Amino acid sequence: MPAPPDNTSNLSAIAARLRTALLRESIALVDSGSATPAAVDTLVRTTIGRRLSVAGPFEIWEQIGWDLVQVIAGELLKDLSNATDVSPSFDSCLDHTDGGPPLPVLAAGTTTTDAISHVAVIGAGLMGHGIALEFAASGRSVRLHDLSPALLADALTRAEVGLRTLAGSGRISGADAEAALGRISTTTNVADCVRAADLVIEAASENLDLKKRIFQQLDTLAPARAILASNTSTFLPSAYAASTRRPEQVIGTHYYNPPHLLPGLEIIRGPATSDRTAATIGALFESIGKQPALLAREIQGFIGNRLQVALLREATSVVEGGLATAAEVDQLVRTTFGRDLASAGPFTLARRAGLETTRAVLVHNLPLLSNRRTVPELVLQKVASGALGVKAGRGFYDWTPESAEAWRAHMADSLLGMEAHQQ
């Protein structure tokens, strides 16, 4: 009886294509002047890389729904790199020192994290409650706003669960978890929420008109000293800063889910954001144990979503081409280079592999990559059929409330384990 065909080389070729798609967009971010190699590496290894070591791209996007992916990808695909040749800047991209992104450095005494002791969070949903509990755990007083007492009660319950999770993992003590929960207060009144705030973080729904109205309110109601930030994953700081009279104090602070279990986030400067604002926010996040990645200028999709969509574009191309199923792609990512990305970003990994080896991989794979500018047909089919992922109970996978909760618990446990290993 003949032996079954060896699929190892095929899977290796697919992994190389997926890796190349990620590196191509990373180089494009540096070429555009939007980010340094160090910022890209920091963001990847502290957020999306950790997630990709636990779950592949199809699993991850299923959590938010293919209808929303259609919107996000539809915007970003128009602007992603379609390079078929190695960038002239490739060598210099690998010639960077390890470490975090370069935050603005101000004269001694001109900024202090102690000045930010009162934080207001507008929006108590999936991201908002995690942002609130993390600042409360760092000793800050937090006011949390949403539209109804029921939403706020649910947020407090989830914050309590999150704090207990941190305590159970040894990140904080049980007493600290109780004290942190006591530092979070809630209100349905925006003026009451922000009147004493040193920092306001907006975490409302992804609707630009809504965000503009919120920032106009915040500009009127928050103290003149307050920095106004947005957790939006879609909109540029310039778009919502224009609704205020303090654009120099407006900045993007984009977290990844779950915000309190991932050490990274993106800080996005708008064209008017001052050095003082960027330095203060960077120092604040570092003081609470985060590892921020600073974008030198605003760009659609920032670092993380551009890289995630670039990876998804190639992953859907592989599936549409019949080379692998979505489940096989997910398994391949999480068991190969996803694990690497959890500890090192794409530039660090390329440097470790060697300049000439990485160049050869790029030369071979760049011409093979998808250059699609429109939403993949595979995604459109899921949206048209209502197979939106977790919220519909079906997508590329079948989901029950129990399996979805088990997936989230596995992700949380895995991320906590990585954090403990890094310490």
Active-site residue among 53, 233, 365, 370? 233
What's the confidence (pLDDT) of residue 94?
85
Instruction: Please confirm, yes or no, whether 254 is among the known catalytic residues.
Output: yes
What's the confidence (pLDDT) of residue 411?
96
Roughly what angle, to the nearest 10 degrees, separates helices 304-320 and 377-385? 90
Active-site residue among 266, 298, 314, 419? 266
* Structural domain boundaries in the chain: 8-99+302-376, 113-295
Which residues of the chain are under the pLDDT cut of 70?
1-8, 96-114, 420-423
Active-site residue among 62, 254, 260, 414? 254
Residues listed for the chain: 423
C-alpha–C-alpha distance, residues 364 and 83, integer Å: 13
State phi, psi for 354 to the nearest 5 degrees: 110, 140
Task: Name the CATH topology of 113-295.
Answer: Rossmann fold (3.40.50)
What's the confidence (pLDDT) of residue 4?
44
Instruction: Please confirm, yes or no, whether 10 is among the known catalytic residues.
Output: no
C-alpha–C-alpha distance, residues 50 and 129, integer Å: 21
Active-site residue among 53, 138, 257, 305? 305
Q: Which of 146, 80, 65 is nearest to 389 (CA)?
A: 65
Cis link prior to 258 (omega < 30° from 0)? yes
Residues 6 or more apart whose Cβ sits within 8 Å of residue 401: none
Instruction: Please confirm, yes or no, whether 231 is among the known catalytic residues.
Output: no
C-alpha–C-alpha distance, residues 167 and 173, integer Å: 5
Instruction: Please confirm, yes or no, whether 305 is among the known catalytic residues.
Output: yes
What's the confidence (pLDDT) of residue 2?
43
C-alpha–C-alpha distance, residues 168 and 163, integer Å: 9
